[in-house]
């Protein structure tokens, strides 16, 4: 139901240009007290610029911003905070070595005669964190706390300054499912207290769960604003985001039975305290999903396969021949490559060009002495740029200048260019907008059609069910079961992932959410 009162914050005809690029063009936005407003759009749609305008980091070239009915000209984040606007970015900004309390009070210490009143800031921090259901030692460094506590501490920073609007950018990106549930409960409580929320996420189920209102941006322009109508179904939302009708992410005839050619077989993979007797096989032209609850050992399996982590025991067969892999270089020699979960930290050199990044694993192929000749690699790299769906104009662009989805395409291209036959991907679409997800799914399907064996680790149930030919479910570091065909359902996967969790997991896994947050540390 649309609200009756006037908006807490309004933007009218807001535009922002960088050189020849219109980051925002004539955007209107209304944010109301006590309501969650979903801000949706592809990477590069203008969401980040809009958030920066609201938070005082960027001044628009045109348009007006009003807070509480009064027009404002925000020059910096401090001014926005004084007006009750608190922005919590995706990459949290805090000082790891400073205490929880000091980070919450940063920029507004209680002082007497030039000295900080430590007791006062600790007490105030404890009070505001308790309001969020968090009970930690506020004198401990924030850098030692879990991502969930760090996220809530940044929310607490705004609340301690009487924030009336919280802007949250991908707040659950680094959280477990249970931590996310706690955050959702906190946000519902804050809405009931009259605090407005502008919520940015690529996770449609979160948007649909939390938001009463929604705005869609595309290429810096307002496409649709829905007040009191919630978030539409996936197909309609994707159509609004990309400007064309997009069918279901996954083709109904994509699934197939595993082929006869076994390219990878794993026997007796063990790593003390992490993995226990993992056995499976992977066939040419197959997409195999590895899933399970957080901490079930999914990523650890991939890291052992390519030699990043050393297994205590493991027999690995490639094309039927036993193979020893002690390093990623050994894995590459047999045609196996990993696309890691942390693309920025582990998959890219951001200051290097797209072409240089794609070439990294195979520099010797195009080198003459100590030099890599661009003319010798250009045809191969250009073909790969096209294969992964990048524009040809991105060839020489710095990888760090690209959107998250395009960066992921670069990492996949880098993993494929050496003639990879076995592709391992860890959360390949995390933090990527819906349209680029569709492109990556299509790419993985075409790779399988060409005979590549694909092993995907994913936490998204829709992704697992829609993409994979077979599903291996892990629980507590062991294989709980393998599903294919009609057996691969959400219910069956969850039953395998959770079966016996009360007996096998520690007390913290089953404690109430408030108790799990309390005292949690990385």
pLDDT of residue 502: 32
The confidence band for 360, taking pLDDT boundaries of 50, 70 and 90, is confident
SS3 of residue 155 by DSSP? helix
Q: Given a cut of 80, is residue 257 above it in pLDDT?
A: no
- Per-state percent for the chain, helix, strand, coil, to nearest 5: 35, 25, 35
Q: Given a cut of 70, is residue 513 above it in pLDDT?
A: no
Shortest CA distance to 167 belongs to which of 197, 195, 193? 197
What are the residues whose beta carbons fall under 8 Å from the beta carbon of 486, sequence distance 6 or more? none
| Range 257-283 average pLDDT | 89
Q: Given a cut of 90, is residue 64 above it in pLDDT?
A: yes
Q: What CA–CA distance (Å, rounded) separates 414 from 437?
A: 18
pLDDT of residue 364: 78
pLDDT of residue 405: 87
Residue 239: enclosing H or E segment and its boundaries? helix 234-242
The confidence band for 218, taking pLDDT boundaries of 50, 70 and 90, is confident
pLDDT of residue 234: 74
C-alpha torsion 426→428→430→433, nearest 10: 180
Give the distance from CA 206 to its chain's centroid: 13
pLDDT of residue 43: 63
pLDDT of residue 493: 85
The confidence band for 463, taking pLDDT boundaries of 50, 70 and 90, is confident
User: Between 326 and 115, where is the model more confident?
Assistant: 326
Provide the 8-state DSSP code for 393. G
User: Between 427 and 247, where is the model more confident?
Assistant: 427
The confidence band for 87, taking pLDDT boundaries of 50, 70 and 90, is very high
| Range 309-336 average pLDDT | 94
User: Between 518 and 86, where is the model more confident?
Assistant: 86
SS3 of residue 144 by DSSP? helix
pTM of the model as a whole? 0.57
User: Between 203 and 24, where is the model more confident?
Assistant: 24
Q: What CA–CA distance (Å, rounded) separates 311 from 199?
A: 41
**Window from 40-54, 207-221, 250-264, 276-290 with minimum mean pLDDT:** 250-264
Provide the 8-state DSSP code for 343. I
Domains 1-84+164-248 and 261-335+421-522 share a fold: yes
pLDDT digits (tens, 9 = 90+) for 402-448: 888 899 999 999 999 988 999 999 999 887 877 788 889 999 999 99
pLDDT of residue 256: 53
- Specify the pairing of strand 115-116 against strand 165-169: unpaired
Q: What CA–CA distance (Å, rounded) separates 85 from 164?
A: 6
Q: Given a cut of 70, is residue 457 above it in pLDDT?
A: yes
- How far CA 249 is from CA of 50, 445, 463, in Å, comes to 28, 11, 9
User: Between 454 and 148, where is the model more confident?
Assistant: 454
pLDDT of residue 504: 35
Q: Given a cut of 80, is residue 520 above it in pLDDT?
A: no
Residue spans per domain, the chain = 1-84+164-248, 92-162, 261-335+421-522, 343-419
E strand map for 77-190? 85-88, 111-112, 115-116, 165-169
User: Between 203 and 512, where is the model more confident?
Assistant: 203
The confidence band for 114, taking pLDDT boundaries of 50, 70 and 90, is low
- How far CA 483 is from CA of 156, 435, 478, in Å, comes to 43, 28, 15
pLDDT of residue 521: 34
56: left (phi over 0), alpha (psi -120 to 50) or beta: left
Q: Given a cut of 60, is residue 203 above it in pLDDT?
A: yes
Q: Given a cut of 80, is residue 372 above it in pLDDT?
A: no
Contact 313, 269 (CB under 8 A): yes
Q: Which CATH number fits domain 261-335+421-522: 3.40.190.10, 3.40.390.10, 3.40.50.300, 3.40.50.880?
A: 3.40.50.300
The confidence band for 375, taking pLDDT boundaries of 50, 70 and 90, is confident
Q: Given a cut of 60, is residue 517 above it in pLDDT?
A: no
The confidence band for 55, taking pLDDT boundaries of 50, 70 and 90, is very high
pLDDT digits (tens, 9 = 90+) for 467-510: 899 999 998 899 999 998 888 887 788 778 865 333 333 333 33
Shortest CA distance to 487 belongs to which of 498, 473, 475, 501? 473
SS3 track for 439-486? HHHHHHHHHHHCCCEEEEECCCHHHHHHHCCEEEEEECCEEEEEEEHH
Burial of 449 (0-12, 13-18, 19+ CB in 10 A): exposed
Q: Chain-wide mean pLDDT for the chain?
A: 85
Q: What tokens does 43 get?
A: 């990477």
| Range 373-378 average pLDDT | 80
pLDDT digits (tens, 9 = 90+) for 323-342: 999 999 999 999 999 999 88
Q: Given a cut of 90, is residue 251 above it in pLDDT?
A: no
Q: What class has domain 1-84+164-248?
A: alpha beta
């Amino acid at each position: 139901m649309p609200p009756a009162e006037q908006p807490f914050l309004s933007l009218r005809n807001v535009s922002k240009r960088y050189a020849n690029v219109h980051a925002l063009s004539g955007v209107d936005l209304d944010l109301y007290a006590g309501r969650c407003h979903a801000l949706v759009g592809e990477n590069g749609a203008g969401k980040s610029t809009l958030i920066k305008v609201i938070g005082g980091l960027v001044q628009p070239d045109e348009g007006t911003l009003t807070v509480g009915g009064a027009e404002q000209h925000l020059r910096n984040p401090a001014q926005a905070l004084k007006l009750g606007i608190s922005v919590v970015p995706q990459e949290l900004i805090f000082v790891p070595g400073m205490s929880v309390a000091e980070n919450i009070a940063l920029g507004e210490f209680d002082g007497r005669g030039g000295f900080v009143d430590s007791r006062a800031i600790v007490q105030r921090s404890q009070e505001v964190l308790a309001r969020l259901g968090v009970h930690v030692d506020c004198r401990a460094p924030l850098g030692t706390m879990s991502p969930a506590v760090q996220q809530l501490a940044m929310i607490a920073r705004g609340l301690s300054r009487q924030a009336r609007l919280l802007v949250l950018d991908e707040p659950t990106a680094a959280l477990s499912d249970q931590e996310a549930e706690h955050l959702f409960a906190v946000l519902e409580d804050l809405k009931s207290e009259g605090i407005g929320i502008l919520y940015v996420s690529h996770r449609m189920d979160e948007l649909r769960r939390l938001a009463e209102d929604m705005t869609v941006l595309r290429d810096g322009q307002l496409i649709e604003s829905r007040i009191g109508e919630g978030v539409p179904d996936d197909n309609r939302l994707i159509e609004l985001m990309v400007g064309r009708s997009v069918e279901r992410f996954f083709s109904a005839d994509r699934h197939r039975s595993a082929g006869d050619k076994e390219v990878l077989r794993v026997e007796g993979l063990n790593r003390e305290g992490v993995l226990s007797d993992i056995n499976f096989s992977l066939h040419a032209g197959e997409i195999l999903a590895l899933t399970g609850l957080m901490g079930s050992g999914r990523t650890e399996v991939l890291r052992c396969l390519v030699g990043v982590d050393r297994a205590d025991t493991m027999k690995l067969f490639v094309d039927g021949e036993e193979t020893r892999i002690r390093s990623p270089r050994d894995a590459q020699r047999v045609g196996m490559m990993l696309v890691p979960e942390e693309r920025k930290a582990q998959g890219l050199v951001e200051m290097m060009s797209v072409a240089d990044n794609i070439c990294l694993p195979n520099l010797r192929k195009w080198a003459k002495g100590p030099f890599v000749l661009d003319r010798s690699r250009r045809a191969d790299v250009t073909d790969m740029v096209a294969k992964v769906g990048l524009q040809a104009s991105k060839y020489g662009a710095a990888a760090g200048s690209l959107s998250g989805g395009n960066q992921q395409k670069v990492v996949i291209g880098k993993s494929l260019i050496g003639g990879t036959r076995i592709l391992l991907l860890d959360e390949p679409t995390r933090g990527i907008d819906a349209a680029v997800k569709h492109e990556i799914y299509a790419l993985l399907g075409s790779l399988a059609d060409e005979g590549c064996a694909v092993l995907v680790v994913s936490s998204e149930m829709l992704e697992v069910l829609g993409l994979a030919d077979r599903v291996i479910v892990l629980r507590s570091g062991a294989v709980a079961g393998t599903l294919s065909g009609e057996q691969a359902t959400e219910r069956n996967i969850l039953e395998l992932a959770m079966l016996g969790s009360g007996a096998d997991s520690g007390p913290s896994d089953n404690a109430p959410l408030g108790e799990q947050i309390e005292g949690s540390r990385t």
